[in-house]
Amino acid sequence: MNDDVKDIIDNLGPDVHRFAGKTVLIAGGAGFLGRHFLAVFKRLNKEVLAKPCRVISADNYITGDQVVVHDNEHFDGNIIDVWADVSHPLPVREDLHFILHAAGVASPVYYMKYPLETIESAVQGSKNLLELARKNSKLEGFLFFSSSEIYGDPDPKAVPTPETYHGYVSSVGPRACYDESKRLGETISTIYHQQFNVPVKIVRPFNVFGPGMKHNDRRVIPMFTYEALNGRALPVHGTGTQTRTFCYVTDAISGFLKTLLKGTPGEPYNIGNSNNEISMADLAKMFTDVIPGTKANFVSYPDVYPAGEPQRRCPDLTKAAKDLGYASKVDVKTGLTRFVDWAKAQEGYWDKKPA
């Protein structure tokens, strides 16, 4: 992960100095993306910024595990980790300059298990954090983590999907708790910009993956990796023709921070990698190269997985390129190889680690 953090900081260039001496609140700091943000700020404090940045990570650990912020080698007293549930108002008393709302229940298996908590983190959580933002006169940026899922199952003519596409989403389907609450989170964020001038930016991430995803995350890349490392066939749902565009975490985190620093307030931005569109059947084949001996098994959708998944997912990134100078760099095979190398070194990924 150290190389990944360096890549992110290199991608950001001189803009990172805007964090010097500032205070950042990261809601969802114990999650996959949250941990990467913490690692980036830790490295910025250690090596780059003239004045350290103070970072408050807040999480209720519904799916995240408590963060180990400090190890003996790299103690950074500017980074703190607190238990907090964003569905309730947060008693933060210090001035905040940036707020990242990355708290949510992101993995389909978990949002099916926790539908009300999913809605609360996106709706009430957004309102509480935006109220906090509104009280902070020095706030420079608020980043709401929406999702590519707000597009639902897009019309094939709207793939690659631009930010102007309004979506095709069911309000009562099995994915509605996630899709609809993210959509309402975007609406609330937009209103706080329009009515109170909060500098809100919205990101719509498209399937980010990378080191830090837990073996039991249940999103496809960590799930396939866990199965393959333990010698089990990869369970490809349905016909395997459904596609996703996987974005390696270094590209994504750079894109998110660029959106926070340079995005137009009140506007949404797609962040992903439009070159990496791949079907689930081809993804399973790619695992055979990365973990030799891996086999695929085509299975019907399990009950724990919400039905109605989108058939294609691919972002149009024209706006992010033009407004933010965003460009993704890591192709899916390179990213997958980096991820699997990392996973092999994690105890959690092995039922029984080979000697």
- How far apart are CB 51 and ligand NAD at their closest, in Å? 28
Alpha helices (H) along the chain:
2-12, 32-43, 108-113, 115-122, 124-135, 176-196, 220-229, 249-262, 280-290, 318-324, 332-344
Which residue's Cβ lies closest to ligand NAD?
31
From residue 93, alpha-carbon distances to 25, 96, 316, 340 in Å are 12, 9, 40, 42
Instruction: With CA atoms as reference, report the closest residue to 110 among 223, 5, 13.
Output: 223
- How far apart are CB 21 and ligand NAD at their closest, in Å? 26
Q: What is d(CA 350, CA 219) in angstroms, rounded to the nearest whole number?
A: 17
Please list, in sequence order, all residues whose beta carbon lies within 8 angstroms of the beta carbon of residue 91, skipping any fewer than 6 positions away: none
Is residue 61 involved in binding ligand NAD (CB under 6 A)?
A: yes
- How far apart are CB 164 and ligand NAD at their closest, in Å? 19
User: Catalytic residue at 168?
Assistant: no
CB atoms within 10 A of CB 288: 14
DSSP conformational letter for 244: E
Among 11, 87, 136, 328, binds ligand NAD (CB under 6 A): 87
Matching residue, tokens 């084949």 = 285
Is residue 106 involved in binding ligand NAD (CB under 6 A)?
A: yes
Q: What is d(CA 199, CA 267) in angstroms, rounded to the nearest whole number?
A: 10
Is residue 60 involved in binding ligand NAD (CB under 6 A)?
A: yes
Catalytic residue among 178, 226, 248, 326, which? Answer: 178
- How far apart are CB 107 and ligand NAD at their closest, in Å? 6
Among 52, 108, 115, 125, binds ligand NAD (CB under 6 A): 125
Is residue 102 involved in binding ligand NAD (CB under 6 A)?
A: yes
Residue 72 structure tokens: 């003996």
Number of residues that bind ligand NAD (CB under 6 A): 30
- How far apart are CB 30 and ligand NAD at their closest, in Å? 4
Is residue 104 involved in binding ligand NAD (CB under 6 A)?
A: yes
Is residue 69 involved in binding ligand NAD (CB under 6 A)?
A: no
Is residue 205 involved in binding ligand NAD (CB under 6 A)?
A: yes
Residue 180 structure tokens: 């609809």
Among 62, 112, 188, 223, binds ligand NAD (CB under 6 A): 62
- How far apart are CB 9 and ligand NAD at their closest, in Å? 19
Task: Name the residue type at position 108.
Answer: P
Residue 299 structure tokens: 């299975």
Is residue 86 involved in binding ligand NAD (CB under 6 A)?
A: yes
Per CB under 6 A, the segment of 84-92, 134-142, 193-201, 274-282 that binds ligand NAD is: 84-92
Matching residue, tokens 């990355």 = 102
Is residue 85 involved in binding ligand NAD (CB under 6 A)?
A: yes
Instruction: With CA atoms as reference, report the closest residue to 351 among 234, 252, 267, 227.
Output: 227
- How far apart are CB 149 and ligand NAD at their closest, in Å? 7
Residue 148 structure tokens: 């590519």
Task: Name the residue type at position 148.
Answer: S
Q: Which of positions 218-257 make contact with ligand NAD (CB under 6 A)? A: none
Is residue 105 involved in binding ligand NAD (CB under 6 A)?
A: yes
Is residue 274 involved in binding ligand NAD (CB under 6 A)?
A: no
Is residue 328 involved in binding ligand NAD (CB under 6 A)?
A: no
Answer whether the bond into residue 160 is a cis peptide, omega within 30°: yes
Is residue 100 involved in binding ligand NAD (CB under 6 A)?
A: no
Q: Which of positions 135-194 make contact with ligand NAD (CB under 6 A)? A: 145, 147
Matching residue, tokens 């910024």 = 49
Is residue 108 involved in binding ligand NAD (CB under 6 A)?
A: no
Residue 213 structure tokens: 């995803």
Please list, in sequence order, all residues whose beta carbon lies within 8 angstroms of the beta carbon of residue 285, skipping any fewer than 6 positions away: 296
The residues annotated with a catalytic role in the active site are 178
Q: Interface residues with ligand NAD (CB under 6 A)?
A: 27-28, 30-34, 59-64, 84-87, 102-107, 121, 125, 145, 147, 205, 207-208
